[in-house]
Amino acid sequence: MRYCGIMIETGQELSVSRGGIDMSRKDYGERLKNALDELDITENELAEAVGCCTKTISRYILGDKPNEQKKKKIAEYLDQKRVFGKYHHIPSEAFGKKVGKLLNEEFKGVMTETKLAENVGLKGGNSQISKIIYGSKKINTELQFRILDEFLNLCYKTGGVSFFSDTANIQRQYYRTAKSLYKTLYGDTEPFDTFEKYDKNNKESEYNIIKTLVNYFARLPSDAQDLILSAPLAFFDSISILYLDYDDHYVSAEEFIEVFHDLPGVAPSGSLLDTSPREAFQHELEMLIAEKKVLGYFDFKDNWQLFDIVTQYRAMIKSARERRIADPSGAYKGFGERIDGFEPISNYSMDDLISDKVINRREQIKEFENTVTELNFGHWSDEDSVYIIDTVRRDIEYRLLMSSWDWYMWMLYASYVFCFQEDDAVLELLKKHLHEAGSL
């Protein structure tokens, strides 16, 4: 007779049909003990599940034979505990080898035993993971799932390109691993199959987008080309950084900064405070970021992407100051003040990026083409390619003319979105200040 994937043979024999728990060759008590050990189930847990006392289970293990009804209940419970969602328990020896290979080969230097134990809530740290790897520690099915799922999530987090869906965020060297882990954990590879079909159909459109953007870049002033190549993430963050494009929405610097500009840049007339609404919003946004520990995230211990992008934002803050781009409110202490004895330029434009500097245009264009080729615009699958090109081009030109204060505020906003994949708290704070300033 078969109950929930476990074979109950008439009379004595009992075996698990899948998953490697052999309960068909040895006497019942020893087989039951091995099954409980393999699934990390206590005698007390089993007793509660099948409606008897712990001593009864102990007697079964020592050699007493349960009746057929009790034997059936035990078999059903064991079968239930070896499945978590669509994941099926892997025998401990095989599971340990799998985890060892993931840690010591595929994710060597990316994940440690200590970090893995911490992430899955396993007390004892790296010593417990070592025991799992070498088969001396048996764990339950749910914990097996959580450990493998941690590696699957790591595949997504180590991706450097954001498009279409989480599936596409996986760097190519982790793609096969992720697909295999997904099948083990969830029973199919449907998201990967969908992506692969989509990816194939989308390459021609993507090629045309890249080609058009390269031609656009070639027509930009030489200083503008240098700026973009010096900090490409600062210009392409919304399509190159994982998590920065959320809900399939391109996060535009212009959208955020122009609303920020709606706040008055000077203190209200007759106000007892010397702080403008714009400064007040900045200070509260900084407090929000500190409260949410985004600044702690800037330690970059586990996230090289955020390190790279913040470094390039700061380079653009410095560049905007050196180019003396004035803030819309005029000179601003800390960002737009007099630089080397010169006033900020209030009418800074693309013309100011034209210089007599001699550049190797062929090399510049080749470098830009390599940069945008690493991006992927497929997450706008429902958008016309002309719309995609216009959106990116408009955003590039807007960022080329952003002041140091604008870049600083964008760095705060984008970093928050990067860490939390939403901007609700920031927008609520901005609305509050717009309302108080009478700009809403």
Whether the pTM exceeds 0.75: the reply is no
Helix (H) or strand (E) holding 128: helix 126-133
Q: Are 331 and 338 in contact (CB under 8 A)?
A: yes
Q: What is the pLDDT of residue 87?
A: 94
Split at pLDDT 50, 70, 90, the class of 61 is very high
- Of the pLDDT bands very low, low, confident and very high (cuts 50, 70, 90), residue 200 is low
> How far apart are alpha carbons 204 and 83 in whole angstroms?
43
**pLDDT one-digit tens code per residue, 380-405:** 656 677 777 888 889 999 999 998 88
| 57 closest CA partner among 79, 35, 38 | 35
User: What is the full DSSP assignment across 279-317?
Assistant: HHHHHHHHHHHHHTTHHHHTT-SS-HHHHHHHHHHHHHH
Q: Is the pLDDT of residue 9 over 80?
A: no
Contact 179, 342 (CB under 8 A): no
Tell me the C-alpha distance between 218 and 396, whole Å: 14
Query: What is the per-residue pLDDT for 11?
Result: 38
The mean pLDDT value for 144-169 works out to 65
Q: CATH topology for 2-81?
A: 434 Repressor (Amino-terminal Domain) (1.10.260)
DSSP H helical ranges for 15-125: 28-39, 43-50, 54-62, 68-81, 92-101, 113-119
Q: How many residues does the chain have?
A: 440
pLDDT given at position 179: 84
| pLDDT digit string, tens, across residues 182-198 | 899 998 887 776 656 55
How high is the pLDDT of residue 149? 92
Q: How much is the average pLDDT of 265-284?
A: 76
Contacts of 247 (CB under 8 A, 6+ apart): none
pLDDT tens digit sequence for 86-145: 999 999 999 999 999 999 988 888 889 999 999 998 887 778 999 999 988 999 999 999
Instruction: Give the contacts of 221 (CB within 8 A, at least 6 positions apart).
Output: 350, 351, 353, 354, 355
Percent of the chain with pLDDT over 70: 74
pLDDT of residue 307: 77
Rounded to 5 degrees, φ, ψ at 249 are: -115, 125
- Per the DSSP assignment, residues forming a β-bridge with 84 are 87
Structure tokens at 413: 């906003």
CB atoms within 10 A of CB 93: 12
Q: How sure is the predictor about 60, in pLDDT bands with cuts at 50, 70 and 90? A: very high
Q: Which of 423, 418, 427 is nearest to 238 (CA)?
A: 418
Topology (CATH level 3) of domain 88-188: 434 Repressor (Amino-terminal Domain) (1.10.260)
How far apart (Å, rounded) are the C-alpha atoms in residues 440 and 438? 6
List, for residues 292-335, the tens digit of each pLDDT value: 777 555 454 556 677 788 889 999 999 998 888 887 655 444 45
Distances (CA, A) of 199 to 57, 155, 196, 206, 378: 55, 18, 5, 10, 8
Phi and psi dihedrals of 294, rounded to 5?
Answer: -65, -40
Nearest one of 159, 311, 301, 177 to 242, comparing CA atoms: 159
Where are the CATH 1.10.260.40 domain residues in the chain?
A: 2-81, 88-188
What is the rounded average pLDDT for all residues in the chain? 78
pLDDT at 360 over 60: yes
Closest Cα to residue 245, out of 414, 429, 408, 409? 414
What pLDDT is recorded for position 268? 65
CB 429 within 8 A of CB 288: yes
